Chains A and B, each alone.
Chain A
C-alpha cells in the first residue's frame, strides 16, 4: 500500500484544475462541440453526462490530446495544453474496452508507461506490482488480457492509467461493456480509489445512474453545449433546463396555466420554482415520486400500466385530457391499483418546475 500513500500525498498537493474554454469542433457538417466552457476543480470527480453524440467523448479526447479543437483552448492548472501532444499530456486514460495490449501480461501492461519513461526494470516491476495490488489483482500479474474477465481487464487498465501518477484521470465509459453486477462493484471501487488518491477525474458516461452515484458534480451536455453543471442532488432537484429535467431521472409533463408566479395544475394553484418562462401556456414537470395516486371511483384518471421496481411500483396514469403521468408508489399501496382502476392524482404543496409547453 506504499504506492497508495505516496501517490495520495503526491496528488492531493498537486491535484490539477482543468478548464475548457470555448471549445469548438466540427466533423464535416455535424457540430460535436459548440462552445464548451467547463471547469473541473482540483481533486473532484466530474461526470460528463449526455445522450450519444452530445460531444462528451470529444471533450474528453481533447483533454487527452487525441482530438484538436477548431477553436478554444484546454487548460491544465492554468497552462494551455491545446498544442501539447498526447504523450506529454500527463493524463491517464481508461478506455471503453479492449484497450490492454494483448501481447503483454497484466504486469507488463501496467509497467508499459514506466518502460516508456525508461524506469529501471526492477523498480518498474515492483511499482507495477503495487498498482495491481491497489486494484486487487496482485495475484493476476502473469495473466494475459485474454485470460482475464472484462471487469479484471478494466481494473488492469485503471492501474495502467495510474502508473505514471498522472495529473488527470480520464475515464471513457469504462463500465459500459461490463455486466450489471461487475459494473456496480467497479463503480464503487473507482470512486474509492479516486477519493483516496485525490486525483482530478473526468468521467464520460451516458448512464445517469452511474453519473449521479459516483460524481462530485455532473455536467449534462446536449448538442455540443453544456446544459448544467451541478452536484447530483441539485441536478436532480433543481434542473436548470427542460432538457436536464427530462434527461436526468424520469419526468412527466402536465399542461398547466401560468399566472404570474403561480401555476394552475390539476385543479390546484402552486408556486413556480425558479424563473417562469414567458407565455401562460406551460408544462409542469413532475418527478414520479412527487405524484400521489389514490383509488377514487369518481376520479377521471385511469391507471394504464404498472411496472414492478422492487420496493416501489411505477404506475402510468392517463389523465382526463389524455396526458400520461408516471407515479412511484410503495408496492403494497400499488397492489390494489391494477390497470383500468379509476384514480385521482394529487400533488404536494410545493413549488413546481415549469417549462414552455411542448405537449400537443
Chain B
C-alpha cells in the first residue's frame, strides 16, 4: 500500500487501478491485521508479545514443524525424481501420450482429499489384516512410523502432481528439448549427462516453482495427516487452538510470514544463480 501514489489517483484513466488495489489490499490485510491485533492485544494487559514468545517453548512446536519440513523435503525430492525424467521422456518419446498423462496428473484436483484419505485409510487397515503372516506386514508398519510417516510422503506426492506437472510443462514448453538433447549428444554427452547438463539448467525456474508449490502444499496440509493420525505442523496448530487460541493464531501469522520469507528466498536464490552464471562466463 505504500506504493500507492495519490497523484496518480487524480488522473482519470487510472482511477480504477488504485481502487482495485485498495479493495484487494483490504481483502487480504484486514483479516491479517485482525489476527495480529488479536495476538498482541490481551484484554486487561495492553499490548504484549507473549503469544509469540511462547511459541518456541510450547510442546510440539519444534517437532511438528521439523516433521513438516522433513516431509516437504522428501516429497519434493520424490515428486521431482519421478516427474522430471517422466516429462522429458514424454516430450521426446511419446508426445501423443501427453493428454493421458495430463489427465492422470490432474486427477488429484478432482478427487477431494477426504475421499483420497478414506481410500488410503481403508488400505492401511485392510493390508495388515490380510498380510499379517507375510513380510509385507512390516512394510505397512514401517511406512506408518509416526517419527517419519512415509505414507504421508506418498500421499503428498500424489497431491502435488497437478502443480508439479503444470510447472514443469510450462518450463519444458519454453525450450526445444529434443534439439538440446541431440546437440548435447552430438557433443559427446551420454543420456544422463545430456539431461543434467543441457536440460535441467534450463528448467531451473520450473524446478523452483514446483519445489515451492510442493513446500506450500505440505506445510499447509491438514486433512490427510489428521485423518491418518499423524501430527505435522498444520495438525499441531489446530490441536493447539483448542487450548490456547491466541497462541495458535500467532503461529498462523508466523507461518504465513515464514512462507513468504521462503518464497522470497527461493526467488532471490533463483535470481542470484542466474546473475552468477552470467558473470562466470
In the bound complex, what is the Cα–Cα distance between A112 and B197 (angstroms)? Answer: 9
Give a binary string over B161-193; 1 marks a CB under 8 Å from any A CB, 0 the rest. 000000000000001100110111111111001
Name the one of B186, B188, B193, B202 contacting A101, with C-beta atoms under 8 angstroms.
Answer: B202
Q: With an 8 A cutoff between CB atoms, is B278 at the interface?
A: yes
The answer for the CA separation of A331 and B237 in the assembled complex, in Å, is 89
A133-164 vs B, CB cutoff 8 Å, 1 = contact: the mask equals: 00000000110100000000000010011011
B154 CB-CB contact with A under 8 Å: no
B13 at the interface (CB under 8 A from A): no
Report the nearest B residue to A170, measured CB to CB: B186
How many angstroms between the C-alpha atoms of A163 and B188 in the bound complex? 11
Q: Which of B175, B188, B193, B194 contacts A102 (CB 8 A)?
A: B175
A103–B182 CB distance below 8 A: no
Chain A residues whose CB sits within 8 angstroms of the CB of B204 once the complex forms: 103
Does any Cβ of A come within 8 Å of B135's Cβ?
no
The yes or no answer to A16 lying at the interface (CB within 8 A) is: no
* Residue B201 is within 8 A (CB to CB) of chain A in the complex: yes
The residues of A that contact B194 with a CB separation of less than 8 Å are 87
Residues of A within 8 A of B44 (CB): none
Which residues of B sit under 8 angstroms from A164, Cβ to Cβ?
Answer: 187-188
In the bound complex, what is the Cα–Cα distance between A142 and B190 (angstroms)?
26
User: What is the chain A residue whose CB lies nearest that of B183?
Assistant: A99
Stretch at the interface among A89-97, A250-258, A283-291: A89-97
Interface size class of B (residues with CB under 8 A): 20 to 34
- Of all chain B residues, the one with the shortest Cβ separation from A111 is B187
**Chain A contact residues (Cβ within 8 angstroms of B): what range?**
35 or more
Q: Which residues from B are CB-within-8-Å of A279?
A: none
Question: Known contacts being A101-B202, A103-B201, A144-B278, is A87 close to B182, with CB within 8 Å?
Answer: no
Across the interface, do A95 and B175 meet the contact criterion of CB distance under 8 Å? no
A91 with B186: CB separation less than 8 A: yes
Q: Does B277 make an interface contact (CB < 8 A)? A: yes
Q: Are A113 and B182 in contact (CB under 8 A)?
A: no
Please indicate the chain B residues that have their CB under 8 angstroms from the CB of A170 in the complex: 186
Bound complex: CA A106 to CA B281 (Å): 8
CB-based contact A104/B281 at 8 Å: yes
Tell me the bound Cα distance from A64 to B183 in angstroms.
10
| Neighbouring B residues of A89 by C-beta, 8 Å | 186
Pick 18 A–B contacts, CB within 8 A, sort by A: A66-B182, A86-B185, A87-B188, A87-B189, A87-B194, A92-B186, A99-B180, A101-B183, A103-B201, A112-B187, A113-B188, A116-B188, A142-B281, A144-B278, A144-B281, A157-B183, A164-B187, A164-B188
Report which A residues bind B (CB closer than 8 A): 64-66, 85-89, 91-93, 95, 98-108, 112-113, 115-117, 141-142, 144, 157, 160-161, 163-164, 170
B→A interface (CB under 8 Å) = 175-176, 179-180, 182-190, 193-194, 197-198, 201-202, 204, 277-278, 281
